[in-house]
Structure 1
Amino acid sequence: MTDRRTAMLEKIESLHAEQAKAVEAGGKYIARHKERGKLTARERIELLVDEGSAFLELMPLAGWGSDFPVGASMVTGIGVVEGVECLIVANDPTVKGGALNPWSLRKSFRASEIAEKNGLPTINLTESGGADLPTQKEIFIPGGRGFRDLTRASARKQPTISVVFGNSTAGGAYVPGMSDYVIMVKERAKVFLAGPPLVKMATGEETDDESLGGAEMHSRISGSSDFLAADEHDAIRQARRVVARLNWRKRGAAPDPASYAEPDLDPEELLDLIPTDLKEPFDPREAILRIVDGVSTGSTTGPDNLVAFDEFKPLYGTSLCVGWARLHGHEIGILANARGVLMSEEAQKAAQFIQLANQKDTPLLFLHNTTGYMVGTDYEQGGIIKHGALMINAVSNSTVPHLTVIMGASYGAGNYGMNGRAYDPRFLFTWPSAKSSVMGPQQLAGVLEIVARESAEKKGEVFDAEGFKAIKEMVEAQIEEQSLPYVLSGMVYDDGVIDPRDTRTVLGICLSVIDNQPIEGALSFGVFRM
């Protein structure tokens, strides 16, 4: 076993341990929840999606490193229900009654964005006490966006379905209140803006849960429920029937099934690729050939699929590898960092390639391992700023779907040029080996030392190099920690940390989801500084 594989397997084992924290976030309350005859959030999802189909969980580490449980009291992801790809959001009632905290908002907003951009129906498995009251100042104002998104989805003809399993109070009541279809579980669902105690305080009226917001009341009297379910299993059955009757159809172009082929190289070998020291470069072609479809002569689209990866400008700007491939039968363009640094040639090559992808309506996949754009007198005089801007302009104004995987380093403006989170990729995933920050820890600490030294010299003081050593070490450790994938995933700066061996499957699901909408490349870009 290689050192690289050993190191990656250790990171994957650590990843599984962190993901398990999200599954067990409810602690002792999980057992109590089950004793009441109720299903957990993940059990509800498992029954909802088609048997044998995959559920791509998104942002499972949201809230990692914060004062809140990992997972942010909800489970989100994409699953197939009655043959229809749906965005699924399930409150976890074992974590503070499913109450929403600031990280829950970030996670739910990102989920809503994914549903909007990819044209997906949304199913909310609802059981939430509304806002986490101690943090209401961080939730109340931005929280209204969630209800806005529900109504806008409906206006776009993207159906919204709410299945209410238990208490859904205050803000939690607006989810079913603003959904297109509502199913409530008999004697379990309780939907009201204010519970009996608050009603008593506000109006003096004495009432009970069922009269105020029970499932039968909403089904027979208020009309807020469209379907009354006998129990949780019946509610999930009815939700599946609603989806089956949506008359849903994809609006994008389906891939050619005959063009599909397993990769030429074994995806298992991806674990051997990433160096333990990210300063050491690796050939991204080795990763590409273990992710994309292999050679297939059965394609009905002509001879273009006789090689797995058609590289574009292979002899120019060689620290960026770009080209065309298929992934699960979908045509894609790929941009992958080969030797970390981006120079003028690489930036110009990328801009042209992105334009070509838009010209033929082809999604783009960005594979990160970059230290950023090259610096130095020769490069500044050669126009690295305007050429970097050229690439970022192309990325910013490209309208074909973008997918991003951060395999290794993703530092500085290289993160921007390679379509980082700020550039709205449809999906962004990281490998456990990934690191992302304004620059590497040693470089950042070194810059601070140089600035401190120059400042002392300007003041006529002697620079205390030995005294600054402790500060430098502290800064390095801090930046190293902040650049790790769990920290970034916890802040919802990605859609999940994934096992490299799952990359092909994850991207295949994403490309299938993208096909729910037609793909239209950009007709124009901003001014390119030449």
Structure 2
Amino acid sequence: MTAVDERAAGNRAALLERLAELEEQLRLANAGGGDKALARHRERGKLTVRERIELLLDRDSPFLELSPYAAWGTDFPVGAGTVTGIGVVEGVEVVVSANDPTVRGGTSNPYTLRRSARAHDVARVNRLPFISLVESGGADLPTQSEIFIPGGRGFRDLTRLSAAGIPTIALVFGNSTAGGAYVPGMSDHVVMIEDRSKVFLAGPPLVKMATGEDADEESLGGASMHARVSGSADHLAVDEVDAIRLGRRIVRNLNWRKQGPGPSRPADPPLHDPEELLDLAPADLRQPLDPRDVLARVVDGSRFDEHKPLYGTSLVTGWASIHGYPVGVLANARGVLFRQDAEKAAQFIQLANQTDTPLLFLQNTTGYMVGTEYEQDGIIKAGSQMINAVSNSTVPHLTVNIGASYGAGNYGMCGRAYEPRFLFTWPNAKSAVMGPAQLAGVLDIVGRASARARGRDYDEEAAAAMRAAVEQQIEAESLALFLSGRLYDDGIIDPRDTRTVLGLALSAVHNAPVRGLHDGWGVFRL
């Protein structure tokens, strides 16, 4: 076996191990509140959250789940007690946000808010109808200090979606109490279920405490009352399946049309097997990864027309298509970004805006080059120009971290702060201000300089312990699962699924108009 074969085998083994870990975390999320909670839910004759979503979506259509690892590594359950994603209902791409009532009664914790807010953002910027599958006890009261004030954003988002002409639909499967009552209250279309849906600002106990009134749940907030008396329900369903049928009928009558162009290129599969991406994804991020090899297993027909291949060779730029949608690609080739790479990127981003072409960023960078020679060469100026171009580009951006994403390279390659429409991560990927060893080394240098300035001896033993602790901390906090748990991406994906995931994302972004920045700049050489 050659060294290349050994490296490929090592990469594959490491990736499969990480994918198995991710699969276990998804299993935990899919299990909801556990066997007992699920059994109680079943005894009440209710469908699970994922069964509701499956019935809502068109048969055999895909569901691109967003933020599935939300809250990993925190005190809250993986998934944050909710499910969000993009699916197809009556041929229309929609965002679905669904409470899981088996997890603490469907109550919202701080990560539930983050996951729901991300779903609202996806609906807004991509112009996707928004469907809420509601069964929630409101806020998780022990964490109310982290929920109450920011939680109001969810209701604001619903009204802003409606104001932007993006339909909002609420299917209420059970309790929707306290603040949760405003989800159906602020949705365009509302379906409630006879003898099941309960929507009120305050339940009978709180009403008794606040006013002294003895009220029963049905009179206070039952589905029949809201359909016949308050008018808060537009449709009264007989059961859960009927509610989903009514929800699908509502979508069918939206007369919804995409405003972006459809696929315009042949969507033939790559010539190279996507299975081989497991061999290419580096387990050790110091290994080289030619992004052309990745693109050959992702883009249509493995066709990639490279732009400026002889200049700025640490960054690969060029044109391709994915499932028929044209894209401009920026992909790191050798990790570090030099002045020439930054200049090349800025020009290429302008070209993509001139032709209204979405951009795909494949991150694998240690950041911009440092050192006297490079500072004098203008790396700050060139890097700033690249970041400026990324910031002001108005075509849709899609980002995939396929390796490293360190330092300001994360910014220039359209990290989360630069609002890509979607950002996905491979299981081997890492992201931080810098590598663990480098960061610990910087702190060590600073500590030594500080000791000298104060005329004190440097404690080598304590310094070694500090370096080890810092390296361990930064390593843990740079891993894909840690970052995904804090919603710094939209999900960790199997490298073999990259083409499919990007195809679904590109189809979603074309619900909105796709238009580059034409009036702010012309194409010029920086």
**TM-score where L is the length of structure 2:** 0.97
- 1:264 and 2:259 correspond: no
Q: Structure 1: give runs of 5+ residues left out of the alignment.
A: 296-307
Q: Deviations over 1:346-382 (max 9, x none)?
A: 0000000000000000000000100000000000000
SS in structure 2 opposite 1:400? Answer: coil
Amino acid at match of 2:316: C
SS in structure 2 opposite 1:224? Answer: coil
Tell me if the contact between 2:343 and 2:525 (Cα under 8 Å) persists in the aligned partners.
no
Whole-angstrom CA distance in 2 between matches of 1:182 and 1:521: 36
Give matches, 1:224-243, under 5 Å.
Answer: 224-243=232-251
- 1:402 and 2:397 correspond: yes
SS in structure 1 opposite 2:236? Answer: strand
Whole-angstrom CA distance in 2 between matches of 1:26 and 1:523: 51
Identity %: 67
- 1:273 and 2:268 correspond: no
Whole-angstrom CA distance in 2 between matches of 1:139 and 1:438: 29
How far 1:388 sits from its partner (Å)?
Answer: 0.4
- 1:508 and 2:515 correspond: no
Q: Deviations over 1:267-301 (max 9, x none)?
A: 00000002221012211100011010006xxxxxx
Give matches, 1:367-516, under 5 Å.
Answer: 367-516=362-511
Whole-angstrom CA distance in 2 between matches of 1:138 and 1:422: 22
The one of 321, 325, 328 equivalent to 2:323 is: 328
Amino acid at match of 1:210: E
SS in structure 2 opposite 1:259? Answer: coil
Q: Deviations over 1:241-280 (max 9, x none)?
A: 0000000111111112x61110121100000002221012
Amino acid at match of 2:109: N
Q: Deviations over 1:53-89 (max 9, x none)?
A: 0000000111111111111110000000000000000
How far 1:139 sits from its partner (Å)?
Answer: 1.1
Whole-angstrom CA distance in 2 between matches of 1:254 and 1:506: 17
SS in structure 2 opposite 1:106? Answer: helix
Which residue does 1:210 correspond to in 2? 218
Which residue does 2:175 correspond to in 1? 167
- 1:32 and 2:27 correspond: no
SS in structure 2 opposite 1:294? Answer: helix
Whole-angstrom CA distance in 2 between matches of 1:479 and 1:467: 18
The one of 27, 30, 43 equivalent to 1:23 is: 30
- 1:14 and 2:21 correspond: yes
Whole-angstrom CA distance in 2 between matches of 1:217 and 1:91: 23
Amino acid at match of 1:179: S
Which residue does 1:517 correspond to in 2? 512
Q: Deviations over 1:382-405 (max 9, x none)?
A: 000010000000000000000000
Whole-angstrom CA distance in 2 between matches of 1:153 and 1:452: 51
Whole-angstrom CA distance in 1 between matches of 2:518 and 2:140: 45
Amino acid at match of 1:399: T
**TM-score where L is the length of structure 1:** 0.96
The one of 193, 204, 216 equivalent to 1:196 is: 204
Q: Structure 2: give runs of 5+ residues left out of the alignment.
A: 1-7
Which residue does 2:139 correspond to in 1? 131
Give matches, 1:74-93, under 5 Å.
Answer: 74-93=82-101
Whole-angstrom CA distance in 2 between matches of 1:282 and 1:150: 43
SS in structure 2 opposite 1:290? Answer: coil
Whole-angstrom CA distance in 1 between matches of 2:404 and 2:259: 36
Which residue does 1:303 correspond to in 2? none
Whole-angstrom CA distance in 2 between matches of 1:11 and 1:404: 21
Tell me if the contact between 2:56 and 2:244 (Cα under 8 Å) persists in the aligned partners.
yes
Tell me if the contact between 1:398 and 1:525 (Cα under 8 Å) persists in the aligned partners.
no
Residue correspondences, number: 517
Tell me if the contact between 2:82 and 2:97 (Cα under 8 Å) persists in the aligned partners.
yes
Whole-angstrom CA distance in 2 between matches of 1:207 and 1:82: 40
Amino acid at match of 2:384: A
Q: Deviations over 1:23-68 (max 9, x none)?
A: 1131120121011110111110000000010000000111111111
- 1:318 and 2:326 correspond: no
Tell me if the contact between 2:126 and 2:509 (Cα under 8 Å) persists in the aligned partners.
yes
SS in structure 1 opposite 2:301? Answer: coil
Which residue does 1:354 correspond to in 2? 349
Whole-angstrom CA distance in 2 between matches of 1:168 and 1:51: 28
The one of 261, 273, 289 equivalent to 2:296 is: 289
Amino acid at match of 2:249: R
Cα distance change on mapping 1:44 and 1:333 into 2, 3 Å: same
SS in structure 2 opposite 1:125? Answer: strand
Whole-angstrom CA distance in 2 between matches of 1:275 and 1:75: 31
Tell me if the contact between 1:312 and 1:323 (Cα under 8 Å) persists in the aligned partners.
yes
How far 1:529 sits from its partner (Å)?
Answer: 11
CA RMSD of aligned residues (A): 1.3
